[in-house]
Amino acid sequence: MPASSRSVRFATGNNGKMEEARIILSPFGIRPVALNGKGVEIQADTVSEVASYSARVASRKYKKALIVEDAGLFVESLGGFPGPFSSYAFKTLEIDGLLKLLKGEGSRRAHFASAVAYCTPSSEPKVFEGVVRGRILEAQAGSGGFGFDPVFLPDGSAKSMAQMTLEEKCAVSHRGRAMRKFGSWFVTTEP
């Protein structure tokens, strides 16, 4: 891995996301630096809208170039719920509540989506998206990761996101895909 030669501020209070960003961006020579607090989080239909708005507000508030990441779990048989409201759904329903909602459903297809928004105080956000498709398990498997990771099985994997090592998860995850798109762009575009 190359030595980190550039840094980018990452507006987040989530230590798990911060650690994943370090692993994902390291091969690009990018070192994320925590900036606690991503600003205002709006209610919207997509994680891209949430990340974009938050990045715009935070970059102007802190007068810094930065990234914001937002993610959500979209369950097909629930009409895409919880989607961009995944954090709230996890806090209120928890994993058991999601499993109860899916009891008796024929399809357990779902996907995780991530949006990384980069913004400077004088620009509009540039958004990078990543998706990983899979299904919701009948019961929790694994103790790693965070959020709904213990019940999400990516397509082609024998392990839930919570059973994977952090490096394995970053290689296949929605956040990994979005962050790698950002990293590729950042090293070739930004000064």
Six-digit token string for 92: 């209120």
Residue 35: closest CA among 5, 55, 52, 12: 12
Strands 66-75, 6-11: pairing kind: parallel
Give 123's contacts (C-beta < 8 A, 6+ positions apart).
none
Q: Return the amino acid letter for 101.
A: L
Beta bridge partners, 118, equal 67, 126
Set 45, 70, 96, 155: catalytic member: 70
The answer to whether residue 155 is catalytic is no
Q: Is the dihedral of CA 30, 56, 39, 87 positive or negative?
A: negative
Q: Mind telling me the catalytic residues?
A: 70
